[in-house]
Amino acid sequence: MTQPWMFRVLMVWLTVGLAIPVVAEEAAPQPDLRQKVVCRVDGHDIHAGQVQEEMNKLLPWSSYHGHVSAEKQKVLLRQALEKVIVQELEYQEALRRQLKVSNREIEKRLKHVIKRYPNKKDFYKQLKGFNFTVDDVKAELKRRALITKIEDLVADPNRKVTDEEARHYYETHLEKFREPKRAVVREIMITVPILGRNEKVWADAKKKADDAFTRIESGEPFADVVRLVSDAPEKEKEAGGLLGTLHKGRLSPKLDKVVWSLPAGRVSRPVRTLKGYFVFKVDRFLPAKQVPFAKLHKSLRKQLQTRWAADRVTQLRKELRSKAKVEYLLPSLKPVAGEAPAAIK
C-alpha cells in the first residue's frame, strides 16, 4: 500500500514539477530518509517526505537573493514541519466533523491537475513512472479538499460586515486611512546589460544619461527625451516616463532620497544604480489627506470580512494545536524558543 505522505510528494511533482530535497539530519543522510517518521501528531505519523514538500515551497522565496545558510535551513525545516502538523490536525478535524467531498468535486480537481500536462498520456506516464494510480491522486485531492472545507466552515463566509461595523473601525483607525504626501514622478531609464558589463559600457550609459539631462535643462520637453532615449517599457515611454503617484518608500532608499529632495518641476542629475542610470522629474506634489469613509466603505467591509474569516481559521489552528499531542522524533525539528509558528497564521 502506498504511504500517505507519498501522495503529498506525488502532488508536488504532478502540479508544479518541483524536485524533492532531502531533509537533513544530524548524522549522514540515509537512502530511505524520506520514509522516516520524524514526528507523531495524536498518533498519526509525519514522514520526512511531507516536510520536504513544504520545504520546497519555502526555499524558492528564501533563496531568491542567494545562498541559504545551514542555520536558516533548519529554521525553514521547523516551519515546514509546523505547517504539516497543522494540516494534519485540520484534516483529522474535518474527518471528526464528518465533512464530505463529492466525487464530482474530486473529478473536477483531477481534471485541473491533468490540464497541467500537454495531454492525458503524459499524465498517466508520469503516474506509472512513480508507481502511483489515479486513486492515489484522488485520495490526496480529497484530503486537500477536506482541509479547505474545514477552513471554509469555521471562516463563517455567510457573516456580513455591516456599514456600522465598518464605520466604527474607520473612525477608530483614522490614521490607517490617510494618504501620505505623494509625488507625481517621471523617469528616464538607461539600462546597462548584465552580461558583458565593463567600464566602457558604464561610461557609454553615463554619457547617454548626461546628454539626456543636458537636453532637458536646455528646454527640450522631458516626455520627448523619454521617447527618444529611455530604455523603459514601451507603455511607460508612451506616457512620457510617467511612473505615477508615489509616496515615500516606494522606491529604493537611494532613489527615494533623490526624488524627495527635488523641488516640483525640477529634474535630477543622472543617478547610478545596479540597473544603470536614472533621471527623475517631479511634476508636482500632492498633500496628505484623509480618505473619506464614503469612498472606501465597500472595500473596507470586504477587508474586514476577509480579516474576520482569517482570524477564525487562525483560532481553529491554535485550538487544535494547543490540544494536540506532538512527539518530535528528530531533534533538529523540535521548536526553538522565540521562533514564530508561521503555520498558525
Q: Is the pLDDT of residue 216 over 80?
A: yes
Band of residue 49 on the pLDDT scale cut at 50, 70, 90: confident
pLDDT tens track for 154-187: 998 778 899 999 999 999 999 999 999 999 999 9
Q: Are residues 50 and 142 in the same domain?
A: yes
* Cα–Cα distance for residue pair 76/23, rounded to 1 Å: 11
- Say if residue 141 is exposed, middle or buried (CB neighbours under 10 Å; 0-12, 13-18, 19+): buried
Q: Are residues 61 and 125 in the same domain?
A: yes
Query: Any idea of the CA torsion for 174, 176, 177, 182, to the nearest 10 degrees?
Result: 130
Q: Is the pLDDT of residue 235 over 60?
A: yes
Band of residue 268 on the pLDDT scale cut at 50, 70, 90: very high
The total number of structural domains in the chain stands at 3
Q: Are residues 26 and 144 in the same domain?
A: yes
- Average pLDDT of the segment spanning 246-266: 95
Question: What CATH number has the domain bearing residue 109?
Answer: 1.10.4030.10
Domain ranges, residue 297: 163-176+292-306
- Say if residue 87 is exposed, middle or buried (CB neighbours under 10 Å; 0-12, 13-18, 19+): buried
Q: Which helix (H) or strand (E) holds 289?
A: strand 289-290
The answer to which of 7-11, 206-210, 294-298, 308-312 has the lowest mean pLDDT is: 7-11
Cβ neighbours of residue 211 closer than 8 Å, sequence gap 6 or more: 229
Q: Are residues 46 and 151 in the same domain?
A: yes
Band of residue 56 on the pLDDT scale cut at 50, 70, 90: confident
Write out the three cell numbers for 238: 508612451
Angle 293-323/134-155 helices, nearest 10 degrees?
Answer: 120
- Average pLDDT of the segment spanning 318-332: 92
pLDDT tens track for 75-120: 888 999 999 999 999 999 999 999 999 999 999 999 998 998 889 9
Q: Are residues 120 and 141 in the same domain?
A: yes
Write out the three cell numbers for 90: 485540520
Question: What CATH number has the domain bearing residue 250?
Answer: 3.10.50.40
| Helix, strand, coil percentages for the chain (3-state, nearest 5) | 55, 15, 30
Locate the DSSP E strands across 34-179. Answer: 37-41, 44-47, 178-179
Q: Are residues 134 and 11 in the same domain?
A: yes
Q: Are residues 89 and 129 in the same domain?
A: yes
Q: Are residues 22 and 134 in the same domain?
A: yes
Q: Are residues 145 and 39 in the same domain?
A: yes
* Cα–Cα distance for residue pair 247/64, rounded to 1 Å: 27
Q: Are residues 9 and 153 in the same domain?
A: yes
Q: Is the pLDDT of residue 297 over 70?
A: yes
Band of residue 28 on the pLDDT scale cut at 50, 70, 90: very low
Q: Are residues 212 and 298 in the same domain?
A: no
pLDDT on residue 344: 66
Band of residue 16 on the pLDDT scale cut at 50, 70, 90: very low
Strand order through the sheet with 242-247: 242-247, 182-191, 276-286, 271-272
Task: Give the closest residue to 279 by CA, choosing from 246, 315, 243, 308.
Answer: 243
Q: Are residues 337 and 280 in the same domain?
A: no
